[in-house]
Amino acid sequence: MSAVAIGLLLSAAGPEAAFIGAAAGPVVAGVANDLAARVMSRKEERRLGAVLIFALDSMKQIQDGGGNIRNDGFWVNVNDFNGPGEEVVEAVLIAAQREPQEKKLEYLGCLLAHIAYHEEISAETAIWMVNTAERLTWTQYTLISMIGRKEQFELGGIEVGKGINSWKGWAIHEEIKAMGPFGLSIMGAPAKKTPRLGLGLFNMELSEFTLGNGGRLLYDFLGVGDIAAEEIEGLIEALREGPSGESEARDS
């Protein structure tokens, strides 16, 4: 279904869209129709339609579980400026429109749905999550899922930035480092201490990594906890793999 078709569906306030609510429905419909009216490729319009379908599906699941669409002024414009709800919807749809890694679309839709139903998430927090989710790669989504349920995987013996023997492994180490204490600070491990003076040292043991506040928000609101274990195991294997080919990556 195209973005414009979904926008028309929401505008009609039919039974399929009634659960969105009188405040949120017109906002989502208006943004969808506005974007769909712009010059887009077929692929871009398909992405917009896909993320909206994923968002509506997640909204229905949340409501079926007892959730209620937020009613805290999130969907109301202020002093002729777009309200936070409209800003968030547009940010998600624009991110989806230009997202080449289409596996992310399901999770961007889930993020939009959760923001629409959680009043404790401020406008500032919502925009941070959307901007960060757009910036992260699919590999990083998978790594967040891995750390969020690390008890399911064997991560012992992997030190981030060490033991790198292939370009694929190097790239995954870099993806982790970009989310660590030197990057986005959404994951990391407790500091180690030097034996004599007890000075703090950065701890890069992957088995000791946990999600920080931002990482936990993304894990919960993107819904990445359902990423297939097999996909995560593939990343772990690459982090451990030995050298292959004539050119080898080195520890960094």
CB 48, CB 97: distance < 8 Å? yes
The pLDDT value recorded for residue 168 is 94
The pLDDT value recorded for residue 205 is 95
Per DSSP, helices labelled H in the chain are 3-11, 24-36, 42-64, 84-97, 105-117, 123-135, 138-148, 167-179, 213-222, 229-240
Residue 39's Cβ-side half-sphere holds a number of Cα atoms within 13 Å equal to: 0
The pLDDT value recorded for residue 133 is 98
The pLDDT value recorded for residue 34 is 81
The pLDDT value recorded for residue 85 is 93
The pLDDT value recorded for residue 105 is 97
**Hey, which residues does 56 pair with through a beta bridge?**
none
**Which residues of the chain carry a pLDDT beneath 50?**
12-13, 245-247
The pLDDT value recorded for residue 86 is 92
The Cα 68–Cα 85 span in angstroms is 15
Q: What pTM was computed for the model? A: 0.88
The Cα 9–Cα 145 span in angstroms is 34
The pLDDT value recorded for residue 24 is 79
CA 97: distance to chain centroid? 15
